[in-house]
């Protein structure tokens, strides 16, 4: 199963609970991805922000990112997220899909 980069980023943030007021630095949002994909991840995060899926929050140490709670139901309906749910039923109970 090959997930799109967008879906992998959203799942990574969702699995850590970075929704709404809970946020993480951009550097941490790129963790867990191979080094050769980090630039692509940063570019895709920018695309997700302009698309309204992610929200940026300015802090004292730089920009933080979190999932837009108003788009959460739409994110959960993405095809890649559905594949993740089918593969791992534990996630279904954890995130109330």
Report percent pLDDT > 70 for the chain: 87
In CATH terms, the fold of domain 5-95 is: Arc Repressor Mutant, subunit A (1.10.10)
Phi then psi for 60, rounded to 5 degrees? Answer: -65, -25
Q: Is the pTM of this model over 0.95?
A: no
Per-domain boundaries in the chain:
5-95
For the residues 39-50, what does the mean pLDDT come to?
Answer: 95
pLDDT tens-digit series, residues 54-95 = 999 999 999 999 999 999 889 888 888 877 777 776 666 666
Residue 55 belongs to what H/E stretch? strand 54-59
């Amino acid at each position: 199963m090959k997930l799109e980069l967008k879906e992998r980023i959203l799942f990574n943030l969702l699995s850590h609970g970075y929704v709404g007021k809970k946020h993480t630095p951009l550097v941490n949002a790129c963790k867990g991805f191979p080094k050769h994909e980090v630039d692509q991840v940063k570019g895709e995060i920018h695309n997700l922000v302009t698309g309204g899926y992610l929200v940026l929050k300015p802090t004292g140490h730089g920009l933080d990112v979190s999932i837009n709670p108003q788009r959460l139901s739409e994110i959960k309906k993405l095809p890649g997220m559905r594949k993740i749910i089918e593969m791992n039923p534990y996630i279904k109970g954890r995130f109330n899909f």
